[in-house]
């Protein structure tokens, strides 16, 4: 089936927010005298905030009745940090221009809450290019479940097999592939050699590198 739709993840792909999510999570866990290693944090990248917190609250044996409050604190701080120092990832303008020139339908599918998604869309100036925006925050399932990608494709009136997705996390990659979509990963530099990316259709170092040859 001919590809005619592109769906982007957001955090770590379009906006350099993963360090800010990590900073916010670290601030929270320090209040419980707990600390996540870089490897531990990376293993849950791409999950919704509540699922991320549930996983580590259980791991550290912390009171689960405090997760809702913890989620509010983490999201509130992330929104603040992104507004203060969030920067676009390399190649954002290039990749949107590339697909606009080829008349692709364009969507965004993120695990982040709407407040952060709306902020980032405004910061990047991409609102006019997006024909669908889907947040997994209020869905039944989050990544690595494909629901958010399937929802976005539905809003775009696109068949999953006609969609190409861009991701930076393993959980997002699994979600896209489970949705029967093509998936291109743009992993962080420190994780680029991880063999888990072999599950993707293609791995590139930056959005700036994507071109017609790779699309074909």
The catalytic residue positions are: 9, 11
Reported in sequence order, the residue ranges of 38-197 that DSSP labels E, i.e. its strands, are: 105-110, 132-135, 163-167, 182-185
Token pair listed for 116: 């952060």
Number of helical (H) and strand (E) elements in the chain, helices listed first: 9, 6
> Is the CB of residue 14 less than 8 Å from the CB of residue 92?
yes
Cα dist. 10→32, 61, 64, 124, 203 in Å? 29, 31, 28, 11, 17
Token pair listed for 32: 């419980």
Rounded Cα–Cα distance for residues 214 and 162 (Å): 16
> Is the CB of residue 163 less than 8 Å from the CB of residue 145?
no
Tell me the sheet residues that pair with 5: 105, 163
Which is nearest to 37 in space by CA: 53, 25, 51, 46? Answer: 25
């Amino acid at each position: 089936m001919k590809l005619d739709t592109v769906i982007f993840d957001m955090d770590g792909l379009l906006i350099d927010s993963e360090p800010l999510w990590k900073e916010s999570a670290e601030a929270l866990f320090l209040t419980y005298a707990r600390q996540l290693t870089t490897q531990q944090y990376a293993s849950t990248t791409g999950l919704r905030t509540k699922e991320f917190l549930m996983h580590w609250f259980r791991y550290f044996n912390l009171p689960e009745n405090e997760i809702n409050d913890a989620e509010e604190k983490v999201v509130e701080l992330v929104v603040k940090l992104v507004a203060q120092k969030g920067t676009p990832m390399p190649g954002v303008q290039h990749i949107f221009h590339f697909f606009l020139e080829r008349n692709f339908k364009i969507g965004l599918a993120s695990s982040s809450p709407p407040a952060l998604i709306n902020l980032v869309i405004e910061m990047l100036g991409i609102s006019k290019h997006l024909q669908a925006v889907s947040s997994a925050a209020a869905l039944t399932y989050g990544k690595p479940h494909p629901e958010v990608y399937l929802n976005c494709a539905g809003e775009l009136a696109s068949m999953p097999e006609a969609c190409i997705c861009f991701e930076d996390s393993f959980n997002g990659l699994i979600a896209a592939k489970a949705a029967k979509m093509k998936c291109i990963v743009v992993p962080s530099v420190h994780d680029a050699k991880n063999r888990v990316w072999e599950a993707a259709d293609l791995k590139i170092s930056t959005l700036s590198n994507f071109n017609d040859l790779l699309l074909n």
